[in-house]
Chain A
Amino acid sequence: MRNIDFSYGEKNIFTNFSLEMRAGESYSLIGRSGCGKTTALELMNGLLTPNRGEVFVNGVRFDFNQSERWRRSMGYSIQGSGLFPHMTLFENLSIIARKEGWKTTEIKERIEELLLLLSLPNHAEFLKKKPREISGGQQQRVGIARALFMKPSIMLMDEPFSALDPITKSELQKEFLKLRAQLGFTLVWVTHDLPEAFSMSDKMILLNKGVIEQMDSPSKFLLAPKTEYVAQFINSHSPATLLKNIYLYSVLNTNIYVAQKTVDGLSLVHLETKNQISFNNQEKARKFLEEFGQSSIYWVNEEFHFIGSQSFSETPHEINPFFLEAEEPILDGMKALLRERKNALPVVNKRQFMMGVFSEGALNAL
């Protein structure tokens, strides 16, 4: 979005607003109500037309005169699913495809794919139901399925899960993350729920009265709030809620070296940059790491699967296989830090892949 001016009548929302988002990433638009987050989203798919300025989608200028055409290629989902109550689930799912003249067999195939993808019951009886005959969680899944129908490269979602109960919500959040990892679409997500923003997005964009206060990764928001407003916004949420609802992967420190054994000693690999330094003995490596500010060696195998950590401060330097899982809440991470008497612990994903470390530093911001 470039140099956008937008106002509702007299009420000015954006003046010369610009925002650049990268394909394939996921973004959360957050902020207090009235900050312009929904407006920003609706400008992205032409639901609103800016008074001035341009919107580019995948490098092509958005044509506001043909916004319907454009919207059909972008996914859109809102709170409470937005399913049409008078249509069956089949009709709801296939509405755009039917308007686009898809063949029935094509539609059926696509629906089958989507039902599978969203863990929805895959049988004819289910598709004949009306939205109100299924649970809120299922409605939301069908809503997402409808948004995904035309295989969009961008998904725009406006507080899609905010009407759901907490359990269904966290279930859907996790599944949606997997889905995105699988399909790789760009995601723009509007939410007033900070924990949700933390867990659902690579980058958070905090808006305040139509101005971007900060656009960063969730951990940066915690660790390095750019303005007083950001700090206050983060702090306004109860730490306990954040700790329970933010998962370790969103506050990971990836600025570390991991160690791999080699024929003639070991090599240290930087997790972010993949820079590699070889050492012929462990002592030299230890010195290097201490200078870098790292107090443990994290051993991984050739596939970067975690093996164990070796703390410098402890004697003997035993290899400790303990690790945290990326999908654990911060609260559990904190408990582990206290229990293990460590200031940092390794974090791995489900395939034991070393993701980074969770350290006390992350907590200072809370």
Chain B
Amino acid sequence: MLFKSLVISSFVLLLFSACNQKDTIVIGSKRFTENYLLAEIFALYLEEKGYKVERRFGMGGTMIAYSALQTGEIDLYPEYTGTVSEAVLKIKESDRETLNQNLKPQGVEMLQPLGFDNSYSLIMRKTQADRLGIKKISDLKNYPELKGGMSFEFQERQDGWADLKKVYELNQKVKGIEVPLTYEALKNNKIDFAEAYSTEPLILKYQFVVLKDDKNFFPIYEAVPLVAINLDEKIKQDLNQLSFKISQDEMIEMNSKVVNGMSLSRVSQDFLFNKGLIKSIKTKTQSNEIAWNKLLYRTYIHLLLTGIAVILASVFAIPFAALFSTQPRATGIIMNITGILQTIPSIALLTMMIPFFGIGFKPALVGLFIYSLLPILRNTQSALANIDPRLITSARGIGLYPSEIFFSVKLPLAFPAIIAGIRTATTLNIGTATLAAFIGAGGLGEPIVTGLALNDTSLVLQGAVPAALLALLMDGFFALIEKYFLKSL
């Protein structure tokens, strides 16, 4: 009863906070260091200007962040002109005016550029490039045996590897590796060239060389704030104050600091403070307190997400299994369908929800709901099917009606197994829910996703440890309930 009311009140609270969002500016970011930094700079600057800001950092890719902007889940995020033209609008022109004309019907607006250009480029180990005499991308043509490493996004996008290959007549094999890892791979001779952002700090650190884009293949990637067109004009003007405030070198330096272990917020604050854009730097103790609050809030969101998904799945699956428990064929079909749904990789399932539900809490909830179905459905069905038939005969024999048999005999007897199913679904979901951060649902996955992107193990642990503890805790809790009901049999 307590749990139920807790869930309901949480739900109401959530709806309330969703309605209240008008006052708060929601800032998103994609999942790489520079984007985090820019988003944090936006956030800090707007906070300095007196706005209330919510950070929804670490979205799983351009399309997720962009559709979040379109659906109003976030109000702005840092983007690059080239990405907008090539990946979002799929047009050749990349001047800001044309882009803004094309963005307008989609409810999106691009503000003033921040001042630096972060184009794609290909990089190599300096030693190898020197030895082979490779200076520009067209030189690669003569070395078909070299191996490349590219992110999946780069392999797929219009201005990515496929076109690059055609333009430069390259025929090297490339491996799919996510960006932070390509540098390690390149450093350790696993690959010979890789895609890179031109502001990537590791280029300096690992002594890579940037190959010259001698055929001007890559579009210009000017960093800009991408905002919802209906964002308050005042806010837009404030953000335009940041225009041309960040140079290429400054960006590389900031990136480098984060890679070397300095916190995002610290680097961003230092930058803004030095530029005179904020008046003070928050002390460390303050940020620690905030971390605890954040942890609690994330845990709460995490529990809410898993809890509602499991409750909905129970409400749906238990009567469903009960209804069909006497029809083996129908049960078989349902089991197969849920079984197939279960085999979809969780991250894929979560991403599949975006076209229908946008990003954030809702699609994650639906995805987790689908994941919870199978264990609950299967356990309920098999528990009901495996009740000693003599007890059913006995129940019928003394004159109980079918509904009475179901509620007074079958359901109580199947209860421990049903609880076991809910237990499996819950622990499974606490794990899977960490992935929901990829589609901006928040929860304990947020620090994990961010930590992975920033190569920050302590941040990863801030999400992973509570998530693991939560899973153990819930498992233990349900084990107790299960034991209690088993004891009563």
Contact between B413 and A85, CB atoms less than 8 A apart: yes
A85 touches B489 (CB 8 A): yes
Assess the A130–B400 pair: CB atoms within 8 A: no
Contact between chains at A96 and B390 (CB < 8 Å): no
**Distance, CA A73 to CA B390, complexed state (A):** 20
User: Using Cβ atoms and an 8 Å threshold, which residues of chain A touch B396?
Assistant: 47, 68, 71
Task: Assess A78 versus B390: contact at CB under 8 Å? Given A86-B413, A99-B404, A146-B398.
Answer: yes
* Cβ-closest chain A residue relative to B404: A99
Query: Hey, what's the 0/1 contact readout for A77-108 against B, CB within 8 Å counting as 1?
Result: 11110111110000000011001000000000
Judge whether A305 is part of the interface by a CB distance below 8 angstroms. Answer: no
Closest to A81 in B: B394
Asked if A30 CB lies within 8 Å of chain B CBs, one says no
A86 touches B488 (CB 8 A): yes
Tell me, yes or no, whether A229 is within 8 Å of chain B by CB: no
State whether the Cβ of B105 lies closer than 8 Å to any Cβ in chain A: no
Tell me, in angstroms, the Cα distance from A147 to B391 when the chains sit together.
14
**B397-A78 in contact (CB<8A):** yes
Give a binary string over A215-249; 1 marks a CB under 8 Å from any B CB, 0 the rest: 00000000000000000000000000000000000
Are A147's CB and B399's CB within 8 A?
Answer: no
- B482: shortest Cβ distance to chain A, in Å? 14
A45 in the interface (beta carbon within 8 A) = yes
The reply to whether the CB of A292 lies closer than 8 angstroms to some CB of chain B is no
Contact with A along B386-426 (1 / 0, CB 8 A): 00001101111111110010001100110000000000000
With both chains docked as a complex, state the minimum distance between the C-beta of A273 and any C-beta of chain B, in angstroms: 41
- Asked if A322 is at the interface of the complex by the 8 Å CB criterion, the answer is no
Is there contact, CB below 8 Å, between B398 and A96? yes
Contact A96 B393 (CB under 8 A): no
Chain B neighbourhood of A77, CB < 8 A: 397
Interface membership of A198, Cβ < 8 A: no
Partner of B391, one of A69, A71, A73, A84: A84
Contact B408 A95 (CB under 8 A): yes
Task: Name the interface residues of B358-407: CB closer than 8 Å to any CB of A.
Answer: 390-391, 393-401, 404
A68 in contact with B395 (CB, 8 Å) = no
Question: Are B398 and A95 in contact (CB-based, < 8 A)?
Answer: yes
B449 to chain A, nearest CB (A): 45
The residue on B at minimum CB distance from A132 is B489
On whether A47 and B393 interact (CB within 8 A), knowing A85-B413, A85-B489, A86-B488, the answer reads yes
Contact of B399 among A71, A83, A132 (CB under 8 A): A71
Give min CB distance, B382 to chain A, whole Å.
Answer: 18
| Minimal beta-carbon separation of A308 from chain B (angstroms) | 50
CA distance A78 to B412 in the complex (A): 21
Residues in B neighbouring A130, C-beta threshold 8 A:
488-489
Contact A78 B393 (CB under 8 A): yes
Give the size range of A's interface with the partner. Answer: 20 to 34
**Chain A positions within 8 Å of B489 at CB level:** 85-86, 130, 132
Report A41-71 CB contacts with B as 1/0, cut-off 8 Å.
0000101000000000000000000001111
**Chain B contact residues: helix, strand, loop or mixed:** helix
The yes or no answer to A76 lying at the interface (CB within 8 A) is yes
CB–CB B400/A95 < 8 A: yes
Query: Which of A71, A79, A80 touches B398 (beta carbons < 8 Å)?
Result: A71
Interface string of B253-296 (1 = CB under 8 A from A): 00000000000000000000000000000000000000000000
Contact of A84 among B399, B401, B409 (CB under 8 A): B409
Residues in A neighbouring B401, C-beta threshold 8 A: 68
Chain A proximity of B405: nearest CB distance (Å)? 10
Measured CB to CB, the closest approach of chain B to A210, in angstroms, equals: 20
The residues in A between 129 and 164 inclusive whose CB is less than 8 angstroms from any CB of B are 130, 132, 146-147, 156
**Interface pair A47/B397, CB less than 8 Å apart:** yes
Residues B398 and A147 in contact, CB atoms below 8 Å apart:
yes
Complex interface: chain A residues within 8 A of B400 (CB): 68, 95-96, 99
- A173 to B394 alpha-carbon distance, docked (Å): 21
- For the complex, what is the distance from the CA of A132 to the CA of B489, rounded to whole Å? 8
- CB contacts (< 8 Å) of B390 on chain A: these are 78-80, 82
**A42 CB, nearest partner CB in chain B, Å:** 8
Instruction: Determine how close the nearest CB of chain A comes to the CB of B481; give it in whole angstroms.
Output: 15
Proximity bits, B478-489, A CB within 8 Å = 1, else 0:
000000000011
How far is it, in angstroms, between the C-alpha of A85 and the C-alpha of B414 when the chains are bound?
Answer: 12
Q: CB of A72 within 8 A of chain B? A: yes
Which residues of the other chain, B, contact A74 by a CB distance below 8 angstroms? Answer: 399
Provide the bound-state CA to CA distance between A130 and B412, in Å. 14
Residues in B117-149 with C-beta less than 8 Å from chain A: none
Shortest Cβ gap from B406 to chain A (Å): 13
**Shortest Cβ distance from residue A82 to the other chain B in the assembled complex, whole angstroms:** 3
A99 to B399, CA, bound (A): 10
13 A-B contact pairs sorted by A residue (CB < 8 Å): A47-B393, A71-B398, A74-B399, A76-B397, A76-B399, A78-B390, A78-B393, A82-B394, A82-B397, A83-B394, A84-B409, A86-B413, A95-B400
- A-B pairs, 5 with minimum CB distance: A82-B394, A71-B399, A72-B399, A76-B397, A86-B412
